[in-house]
A = this chain, B = another copy of it.
Amino acid sequence: MTTEQPRYEVSPWELRWSGLDIEALKRTESSFALSNGHIGLRGAFEEGEPRGLPGTYLNGFFERRPLPYGEAGYGYPEDGQTVVNVTDGKIIRLLVEDEPLDMRYGSAPFHERVLDFRSGTLRRRTEWISPTGRQVRIESERLVSFTQRAVAAIHYEVEPLDGDLQVVLQSDLLANEPIERVTMDPRVAAVLEAPLVADFASAEGYRAVLAHHTRRSGLRMAAAMDHEFDVRDPMWTEVQAEEDLARLTVAVQVRMGQRLRMTKYIAYGWSSQRSTPALRAQVDAALAGARQTGWQGLLNEQRGYLDDFWRSADVELDGDAELQQALRFGLFHVLQAGARGETRAIPAKGLTGPGYDGHAFWDTESFVLPVLTYTVPEAVSNALQWRHSTLDKARTRAAQLGQAGAAFPWRTINGEECSGYWPAGTAAFHVGADVADAVARYLSATGDEQFERLYGLELLVETARLWMSLGHHDVHAGFRIDGVTGPDEYSAIADNNVYTNLMAQRNLREAADSCERHPDIAQTLGVDEEETSRWRDAAHRMVVPYDTELQVHPQSEQFTNHAVWDFANTPRETYPLLLNYAYFDLYRKQVVKQADLVLAMHVRGDAFTAEQKARNFHYYEQLTVRDSSLSAATQAVLAAECGHLELAYDYLAEAALADLHDLHRNTHNGLHIASLAGAWIATVAGFGGMRDHGGEITFAPRLPPELTSISFRMRFKGRQIGVRIASKEATYHLLEGEEINTSHHGEQITLHAGERLTMPIPRTPTHPSPRQPPGREPAHRRPTAPT
């Protein structure tokens, strides 16, 4: 239909796709998704079709579905939870004389979509010639408001290009859209047909509202729309509402040279508690606020919010324009996923698609929150308050499993365990330590004492208690944690996973420290000195296995005694291995899906010597196949630390481009938010060498040879710090706040307000280049200029 290049164009502050590629719609709808963490709209066309996978999501709004088992077992969750495609408010159908706008018919001399990272909007411009030969231009712009959490809006313009034209617009609220099942991939969300039951429908003037509830989970929601028009000629309008459809129809004659301009305001609300009338009132009120602000006001608020964000979070990267774009794309989506979730989870896909059933995993705490901690710390407080709000469920789960403390779920929407496969679910208890680590990181980065007293301390205490009950002292008084699953999903149910044990160690110490800081709160939780000293003792005696022959840390006990996976005879098309090999065989061999020991060397880098890191990294590179999107970023961090700067650069690119290049071939189900966050981590912790062990931050910057410079900004203890890395020197700039001590490659430095401090970068240590499994080397990155 078009000869334009159907791919994203490289540009520093926006993501643009020119031309139409229907096959690519599914994945571009994910990339072009808008969200504020509460409402998510996939980037579908207003006219509804052609479409990839329609999706409108409300964070936390889910339906239950039974979790079946061929052979049931004690403690298996009976119910799963699946994110629901709620009432679609994006739909604006256009009739050009007799022809509905449908880009599969007629022709389009011009078509482009642009996601603008600074305006926070998705713009579309289309010139279309209908099958009967009439030519129109459509321009739309939409946003999901960061400032008005319940509100989305679409500005829509139609202009005839070849003479006066009768235009009919149908602006819908549509519930229970049919969705086709596209694949049997278990990672794809279970599709639920018609999950919404109608409770209420009304329409009057330009306004309509639909209220529904979910059949099994019993959650209630309302969606409402209102409209403003700017048109010279008289309009005929009609509004109607039935169970699953509300529609405003507008017919108008638009003269050549003039435009029909419409603003559609959409509001959503949901609740497990409030009644349908209360929800109706809520969305009506949100619409009133939006109307009062107006389209231009919403645009201004949105840009202001984003200006603030970029001021404290932007990363600049000179020498690779595509990577620059990808980093900003990633930060923008991390912000969208986490900005206004407010005591709801940040799902693995954000609100960009139905993948993983809309569940949140440990990647939120381990990949997304580290980024937000140093850029939008308020969002971290909210996300951890969500975890705190699920503590009762986690305590109940721990008790069901015969354990003390709280056992957070492997995957969930509302806090209940939804994993149907316990060896890679419930047994991955490290999620508790990951939550505790996120709490500790947030506390040390913000000093938010109120958060610590209200939420943080209890999270630390209950996770610490779980470790005490999961572990035991062996005959040599070592503290062992047996039979658990670490981050690497190609191993399971192993003893003394190094990552788990080191994270549990930190968890126990942070809990004890926090109790000592706030003995009054500790007392209300029943913590006494004997308990904290048991925590410290267990932490002190934590078993960390080491293979003295190979001189590396086994990922878990016995790991290095296992057979190495036969990579040479593994056909390249059999990756990801889990789709072609049985778990039993993966589990008992040395093959690593995703960084595990290497992740331990990042987040608990204080527990390893530089020599150990170098040897371990070299060893695990040969075994790591990166069948998970959670791996490249961590490998980038350690590659950089070990002096493999080109390799680090390749891994950074892999993490950053996971979705723009659809590297895992499942971007259509939603973006890999943790991988996008990982790109920031790869940049700041990798090339910036930023570490935050023990409540301090330190730097050890190095520039990969492909780039001219990297600059990033971060917030820490009320300061804003800028770092610019050039090839031979790094410059620190305290942009805001009082002087602060940090270190540069191990050398103590003090940053003073407003001053720049430039430090030479020491020579990069050289180690032999590590090898990856054949065929699993990262793509070698060549810097890409703007399109």
Which A residues form the contact surface with B (CB < 8 A)? 67-77, 80, 186, 400-403, 419-423, 425-427, 472, 474-475, 480, 482-484, 492-493, 495, 549, 557-558, 561-563, 578-585, 587-589
Q: A74-B583, A402-B585, A495-B561 are in contact. List 13 more A-B contacts (CB 8 A).
A: A68-B70, A69-B69, A69-B70, A69-B420, A73-B186, A73-B421, A75-B581, A401-B584, A472-B563, A474-B561, A480-B563, A482-B588, A558-B558
Q: Beyond A70-B68, A70-B421, A74-B583, is A562–B426 a contact (Cβ under 8 Å)?
A: no
A640 to chain B, nearest CB (A): 31
Q: Are B475 and A578 neighbours in the complex by a CB distance under 8 Å?
A: no
Q: What are 25 contact pairs spanning A and B, CB under 8 A?
A: A68-B69, A69-B70, A70-B420, A71-B186, A71-B425, A73-B578, A73-B583, A74-B580, A74-B583, A402-B585, A422-B583, A426-B582, A427-B584, A472-B563, A475-B549, A480-B563, A482-B563, A482-B588, A483-B584, A483-B587, A483-B589, A492-B493, A493-B587, A493-B588, A495-B562
Q: Beyond A69-B68, A480-B561, is A582–B74 a contact (Cβ under 8 Å)?
A: yes
Q: Are A493 and B493 neighbours in the complex by a CB distance under 8 Å?
A: yes
> Which residues of B sit under 8 angstroms from A474, Cβ to Cβ?
561
Q: Are A70 and B71 neighbours in the complex by a CB distance under 8 Å?
A: no
Q: Please report the C-alpha to C-alpha distance between residue A74 and residue B577 in the assembled complex, in whole angstroms.
A: 9
Q: Beyond A69-B69, A558-B558, A562-B483, is A582–B75 a contact (Cβ under 8 Å)?
A: yes
Q: Are A582 and B482 neighbours in the complex by a CB distance under 8 Å?
A: no
Q: Please report the C-alpha to C-alpha distance between residue A496 and residue B427 in the assembled complex, in whole angstroms.
A: 22
Q: Please report the C-alpha to C-alpha distance between residue A400 and residue B585 in the assembled complex, in whole angstroms.
A: 11
Max chain B C-beta neighbours (<10 A), residue from A71, A402, A426: A71
Q: Beyond A474-B561, A561-B495, is A186–B587 a contact (Cβ under 8 Å)?
A: no
Q: Are B71 and A421 neighbours in the complex by a CB distance under 8 Å?
A: yes
Q: Please report the C-alpha to C-alpha distance between residue A186 and residue B480 in the assembled complex, in whole angstroms.
A: 33
> Which residues of B sit under 8 angstroms from A421, Cβ to Cβ?
69-71, 73
> Which residues of B sit under 8 angstroms from A69, Cβ to Cβ?
68-70, 420-421
Q: Please report the C-alpha to C-alpha distance between residue A417 and residue B33 in the assembled complex, in whole angstroms.
A: 44
A425 to chain B, nearest CB (A): 8
> Which residues of B sit under 8 angstroms from A67, Cβ to Cβ?
70
> Which residues of B sit under 8 angstroms from A475, Cβ to Cβ?
549
Q: Are A482 and B584 neighbours in the complex by a CB distance under 8 Å?
A: no
> Which residues of B sit under 8 angstroms from A578, Cβ to Cβ?
73-74
Q: Please report the C-alpha to C-alpha distance between residue A580 and residue B71 in the assembled complex, in whole angstroms.
A: 15
Q: Which partner residue on chain B sits nearest A77 by CB separation?
A: B70
Max chain B C-beta neighbours (<10 A), residue from A80, A493, A549, A579: A493
> Which residues of B sit under 8 angstroms from A483, Cβ to Cβ?
562, 584-585, 587-589
> Which residues of B sit under 8 angstroms from A480, Cβ to Cβ?
561-563
> Which residues of B sit under 8 angstroms from A585, Cβ to Cβ?
401-403, 483
Max chain B C-beta neighbours (<10 A), residue from A402, A492, A579: A402
Q: Please report the C-alpha to C-alpha distance between residue A587 and residue B421 in the assembled complex, in whole angstroms.
A: 15
> Which residues of B sit under 8 angstroms from A492, Cβ to Cβ?
493
A659 to chain B, nearest CB (A): 24
Q: Please report the C-alpha to C-alpha distance between residue A427 and residue B425 in the assembled complex, in whole angstroms.
A: 19
> Which residues of B sit under 8 angstroms from A77, Cβ to Cβ?
70
> Which residues of B sit under 8 angstroms from A403, Cβ to Cβ?
585
Q: Which partner residue on chain B sits nearest A76 by CB separation?
A: B70
Q: Which partner residue on chain B sits nearest A70 by CB separation?
A: B420
A216 to chain B, nearest CB (A): 16
A561 to chain B, nearest CB (A): 6
Counting from the closest, the 4 A-B pairs by CB-CB distance are A70-B420, A483-B588, A68-B68, A472-B563
> Which residues of B sit under 8 angstroms from A422, Cβ to Cβ?
582-584
Q: Please report the C-alpha to C-alpha distance between residue A583 and residue B426 in the assembled complex, in whole angstroms.
A: 10
Q: Please report the C-alpha to C-alpha distance between residue A421 and residue B585 in the assembled complex, in whole angstroms.
A: 15
Max chain B C-beta neighbours (<10 A), residue from A70, A475, A578: A70
> Which residues of B sit under 8 angstroms from A583, Cβ to Cβ?
73-75, 422
A391 to chain B, nearest CB (A): 20
A619 to chain B, nearest CB (A): 14
Q: Please report the C-alpha to C-alpha distance between residue A679 and residue B767 in the assembled complex, in whole angstroms.
A: 65
Q: Please report the C-alpha to C-alpha distance between residue A558 and residue B423 in the assembled complex, in whole angstroms.
A: 18
Q: Please report the C-alpha to C-alpha distance between residue A480 and residue B563 in the assembled complex, in whole angstroms.
A: 9
Q: Are A582 and B401 neighbours in the complex by a CB distance under 8 Å?
A: yes
> Which residues of B sit under 8 angstroms from A400, Cβ to Cβ?
582
Q: Please report the C-alpha to C-alpha distance between residue A357 and residue B579 in the assembled complex, in whole angstroms.
A: 29
Q: Are B71 and A419 neighbours in the complex by a CB distance under 8 Å?
A: yes
A567 to chain B, nearest CB (A): 13
Q: Beyond A561-B480, A582-B426, is A186–B72 a contact (Cβ under 8 Å)?
A: yes
> Which residues of B sit under 8 angstroms from A426, Cβ to Cβ?
582, 584
Q: Which partner residue on chain B sits nearest A585 by CB separation?
A: B402
Q: Which partner residue on chain B sits nearest A482 by CB separation?
A: B588
Q: Which partner residue on chain B sits nearest A588 by CB separation?
A: B483
Q: Please report the C-alpha to C-alpha distance between residue A403 and residue B495 in the assembled complex, in whole angstroms.
A: 26
Q: Which partner residue on chain B sits nearest A566 by CB separation?
A: B402
Q: Please report the C-alpha to C-alpha distance between residue A584 and residue B398 in the assembled complex, in whole angstroms.
A: 12
Q: Are A562 and B482 neighbours in the complex by a CB distance under 8 Å?
A: yes
A283 to chain B, nearest CB (A): 35
> Which residues of B sit under 8 angstroms from A76, Cβ to Cβ?
70
Q: Which partner residue on chain B sits nearest A561 by CB separation?
A: B474
Q: Please report the C-alpha to C-alpha distance between residue A475 and residue B401 in the assembled complex, in whole angstroms.
A: 38
A63 to chain B, nearest CB (A): 16
> Which residues of B sit under 8 angstroms from A419, Cβ to Cβ?
70-71
Max chain B C-beta neighbours (<10 A), residue from A80, A425, A563: A563
A172 to chain B, nearest CB (A): 35
> Which residues of B sit under 8 angstroms from A484, Cβ to Cβ?
584, 588
Q: Are A402 and B581 neighbours in the complex by a CB distance under 8 Å?
A: yes
> Which residues of B sit under 8 angstroms from A72, Cβ to Cβ?
186
Q: Which partner residue on chain B sits nearest A425 by CB separation?
A: B71
Q: Are B557 and A558 neighbours in the complex by a CB distance under 8 Å?
A: yes
> Which residues of B sit under 8 angstroms from A80, Cβ to Cβ?
70
A255 to chain B, nearest CB (A): 59
Q: Please report the C-alpha to C-alpha distance between residue A549 and residue B426 in the assembled complex, in whole angstroms.
A: 33
Max chain B C-beta neighbours (<10 A), residue from A67, A73, A400, A475: A73
Q: Please report the C-alpha to C-alpha distance between residue A76 and residue B68 in the assembled complex, in whole angstroms.
A: 14
Q: Which partner residue on chain B sits nearest A492 by CB separation?
A: B493
> Which residues of B sit under 8 angstroms from A584, Cβ to Cβ?
401, 422-423, 426-427, 483-484, 493
> Which residues of B sit under 8 angstroms from A73, Cβ to Cβ?
186, 421, 578, 582-583
Q: Which partner residue on chain B sits nearest A578 by CB separation?
A: B74
Q: Which partner residue on chain B sits nearest A557 by CB separation?
A: B558
A294 to chain B, nearest CB (A): 48
A485 to chain B, nearest CB (A): 9
> Which residues of B sit under 8 angstroms from A186, Cβ to Cβ?
71-73
A408 to chain B, nearest CB (A): 15
Q: Please report the C-alpha to C-alpha distance between residue A655 and residue B133 in the assembled complex, in whole angstroms.
A: 88
A428 to chain B, nearest CB (A): 10
> Which residues of B sit under 8 angstroms from A71, Cβ to Cβ?
186, 419-421, 425
